[in-house]
Amino acid sequence: MPAQRVHQVTGAVAAADASALYAVAYSYAPFHCPDCPASYCGEHWAWRRFDDCDFSGIEGRCPDGHFHVLCY
């Protein structure tokens, strides 16, 4: 991981800023919906596993209906 990214991640974690952490890489804060902007626990996401040819992972919708790939 490049030094700049390490500083971005540590800064976001130190500030408890899920939006900044998501901005570095969405996989670092899959619980965060940047469209709301809000963070939700797993019970609040309507999620499903997908397996589309070469890609597989988990996609979901936040309680407000915003679609995101949560991880792959």
Q: Output the DSSP codes for 13-69.
A: HHTT-HHHHHHH-GGG-TTEETTTTEE--GGGSEEEEEEETTEEEEEEE-TT--EEE
pLDDT in tens, 14-57: 999 999 999 999 889 989 999 998 999 989 999 999 888 888 88
Predicted TM-score (pTM) of this structure: 0.78
Distance CA 40, CA 27 (A): 14
Distance CA 14, CA 22 (A): 14
pLDDT band at 1 (very low <50, low <70, confident <90, very high): low
- Tokens 């899920």 belong to which residue? 18
